[in-house]
């Protein structure tokens, strides 16, 4: 279960992509032009059955069950006296998925299979197969699995990342809620660009009122062509069951994760705009002479980054990326991150009251400085930390701020002094005994000093914390 702000979202569904040899019903890209859609002509039209859509999509929807062994501490007090040894228990997770390629490639939510020791996929015809993970992407909460069905060509669902979706479009959610078996619910798209939900790092979602409950996680959200248009990831609920507010990762992000997996990648490389932006508020809009707040204002630029080279300036307001209107900084980052590397992307900025279109090359974030990952050992308060040099690429991988400046980021915390002292993964080590730390080499030199009293300064979630230790 995953928290989104003060409400409790139940994790939900998923997306897919078509086998290259499979015909797809995906609509061609239309740019900024909107398709012509008419409301139902009569009440009779509303009574038309969804059965043809279900028959097309449901055979490609699967159940995904995962198991992992968890060591559970019984009583820390008795452990101090040699009793109460840790026990092992089996934690199980049940979700859904979609077959996206006929040779057994399946897309599901990362949280369904995270940390699993065993993954079993059950097809619509009840056959079961063990699955292995091709790629897991926690940042989008998506994962790609593979089962071996021999030479059999399995039914697939096409991923449609080109259709222009509108609020009010009919959708179906297919999955296995509460483990009762395959279930279909219907609803509409309630919103097309929900961000700032706190669900994932790339928090940009389709919103739907189709009923989604525990066990739906990883199942597809489909349109009336039977194509997958989103990956439902969470719902907002006070009761723990569907309250009609569900979120789906858009198909473009799902396709990007699947393509990365099929290309042999172990992680998803997303283009990076190279800007720090802030959503334009009402006060900002009035100060900028805008009729209404829209877009994201550029607060900082990465030197020689993609946006800087294209001519974007500090103070510009990004109002569109790739033909899509930008409502906030989350939308700007998502629209650019979902493009292919090497692609030339039109970015519209508002500058001095006039709109300008700049062309930005989609590039992966730079890996400079080199990661240089190191394990800190010895008699110092950082003993047990694995650290690395912060770069835009590593910041993107960790969901950290690439504009935090040069420094050393904590990757992992193992048993040792640092674990007892409360260091956490993601901390930035800034100073040791008054000496600035700008690289792992600086850090290694600083902890090699023979001193008894250590003063360490770190940055955590934008806050500076200093502490003194004796070793």
Q: DSSP characters for 131-147?
A: EEEEEEETTTTEEEEEE
What's residue 86's pLDDT? 57
Mean pLDDT, range 230-249, rounded to an integer: 78
**Predicted confidence band at 12 (pLDDT cuts at 50, 70, 90)?**
very low
Most confident of the ranges 143-147, 231-235, 332-336, 399-403:
143-147
Higher pLDDT, 180 or 315: 315
User: Percentage of residues in the chain with pLDDT exceeding 70?
Assistant: 82
Task: Check residue 330 and give its pLDDT.
Answer: 85
Average pLDDT over residues 380-397: 93
- Considering the candidates 111, 161, 328, 338, report the single residue annotated as catalytic: 111
Residue 259 has pLDDT above 80, yes or no: yes
SS3 208: strand
Please report the pLDDT score of residue 320 as a whole number. 96
- Band the pLDDT of 35: cuts 50, 70, 90: very low
At residue 231, does pLDDT exceed 50? yes
pLDDT of residue 99: 97
pLDDT band at 15 (very low <50, low <70, confident <90, very high): very low
Residue 404: exposed, middle, or buried by beta-carbon count in 10 A (0-12, 13-18, 19+)?
Answer: middle
DSSP, collapsed to helix, strand or coil, labels residue 118 as strand
Over residues 122-132, the pLDDT tens digits come to 999 999 999 99
Set 66, 93, 96, 141: catalytic member: 141
**Residue 267 is a catalytic residue:** no
Active site residue: 93, 96, 217, 439, which one? 217
pLDDT mean over 96-120: 94
Is 217 labeled as catalytic in the residue annotation? yes
Q: What is the pLDDT of residues 148-204, one digit of tens each?
A: 999 999 999 999 988 788 999 999 999 988 888 899 999 999 988 777 655 555 667
- pLDDT beyond 70 at 45: no
Give the closest residue to 30 by CA, choosing from 230, 338, 248, 324: 324
Write the DSSP symbol of residue 327: -
Q: What is the pLDDT of residue 381?
A: 92
Q: What is the pLDDT of residues 264-302, one digit of tens each?
A: 888 888 899 999 999 999 999 999 999 999 999 999 999
CA distance 148 to 19: 16
Q: Which residue in 177, 168, 241 sits closest to 207, CA to CA?
A: 168
Q: How confident is the model at residue 2 (pLDDT cuts 50, 70, 90)?
A: very low
Highest mean pLDDT: which range of 3-7, 82-86, 343-347, 391-395: 343-347
Q: Residue 42's pLDDT band (boundaries 50, 70, 90)?
A: low
Query: Number of H helices and number of E strands within the chain?
Result: 11, 25
pLDDT recorded at residue 70: 60
* pLDDT for 72: 58
What pLDDT does 438 receive? Answer: 94
Give DSSP secondary structure letters for 59-103: GGEEEEEEEEEEEE-S-HHHHTTT-S--EEEEEEEEEEEEEEETT
Q: What is the pLDDT of residue 73?
A: 53
Domains present along the chain, CATH in parentheses: 1-24+52-268 (2.40.10.120), 275-361 (2.30.42.10), 374-470 (2.30.42.10)
* Separation between Cα atoms, residue 323 and residue 25, nearest integer Å: 22
* pLDDT on residue 406: 83
**How much is the mean pLDDT over the chain?**
84
Binned at pLDDT 50, 70 and 90, residue 26 comes out as very low
Higher pLDDT among residues 425 and 399, named by residue: 425
Q: What is the mean pLDDT of residues 447-456?
A: 91
The pLDDT value given to residue 22: 37
Pairwise CA distance, residues 304 & 390, whole Å: 17
Contact 5, 198 (CB under 8 A): yes
Alpha carbon separation from 320 to 7, 31, 91, 297 (Å, rounded): 31, 12, 45, 12
pLDDT at 139: 87
pLDDT of 181 reads 87
């Amino acid at each position: 279960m995953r928290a989104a702000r003060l409400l409790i979202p139940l994790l939900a569904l998923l997306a897919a992509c078509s086998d290259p040899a499979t015909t797809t019903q995906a609509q061609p890209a239309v740019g900024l032009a909107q398709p012509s859609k008419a409301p139902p002509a009569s009440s009779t039209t509303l009574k038309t059955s969804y059965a043809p859509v279900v028959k097309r999509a449901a055979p490609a929807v699967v159940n995904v069950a995962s198991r992992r062994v968890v060591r559970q501490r019984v009583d820390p007090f008795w452990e101090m006296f040699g009793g109460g040894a840790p026990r092992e228990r089996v934690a199980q997770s049940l979700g859904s998925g979609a077959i996206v390629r006929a040779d057994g490639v399946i897309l599901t939510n990362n949280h369904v299979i995270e940390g699993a020791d065993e993954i079993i996929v059950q097809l619509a015809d009840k056959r079961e197969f063990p699955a292995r993970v091709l790629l897991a992407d926690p940042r989008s909460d998506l994962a790609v699995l593979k089962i071996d069905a021999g030479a059999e060509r399995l039914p697939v669902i096409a991923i449609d990342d080109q259709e222009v979706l509108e609020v009010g479009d009919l959708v179906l959610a297919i999955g296995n809620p509460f483990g009762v078996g395959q279930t279909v619910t219907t609803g509409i798209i309630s919103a097309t660009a929900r961000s700032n939900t706190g669900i994932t790092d790339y928090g940009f979602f389709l919103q739907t009122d189709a009923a989604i409950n525990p066990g739906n996680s990883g199942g597809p959200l489909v349109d009336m062509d039977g194509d997958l248009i989103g990956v439902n990831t969470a719902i907002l609920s006070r009761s723990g069951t569907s309250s009609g507010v569900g979120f789906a990762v858009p198909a473009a992000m799902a396709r990007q994760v699947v393509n990365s997996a099929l290309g042999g990648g172990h992680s998803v490389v997303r283009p990076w705009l190279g800007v720090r932006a802030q959503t334009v508020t009402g006060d900002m809009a009035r100060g900028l002479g805008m009729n209404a707040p829209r877009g994201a204002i550029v607060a900082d630029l990465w030197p020689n980054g993609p946006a800087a080279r294209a001519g974007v300036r500090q103070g510009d307001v990004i109002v569109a990326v790739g033909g899509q209107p930008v409502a906030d900084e989350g939308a700007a980052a998502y629209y650019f991150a979902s493009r292919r590397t090497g692609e030339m992307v039109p970015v519209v900025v508002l500058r001095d009251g006039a709109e300008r279109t700049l062309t930005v090359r989609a590039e992966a974030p730079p890996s400079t400085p080199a990661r240089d990952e190191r394990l800190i050992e010895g008699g110092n308060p950082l003993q047990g930390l694995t650290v690395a040099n912060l770069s835009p690429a590593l910041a993107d991988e960790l969901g950290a701020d690439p504009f935090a400046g040069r420094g050393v980021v904590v990757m992992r915390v193992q048993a040792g002094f640092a674990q007892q002292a409360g260091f956490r993964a993601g901390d930035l080590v800034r100073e040791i005994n008054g000496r600035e730390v700008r690289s792992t080499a600086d850090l290694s030199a600083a902890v090699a000093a023979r001193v008894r009293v250590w003063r360490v300064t770190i940055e955590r979630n934008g806050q500076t914390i200093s502490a003194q230790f004796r070793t």
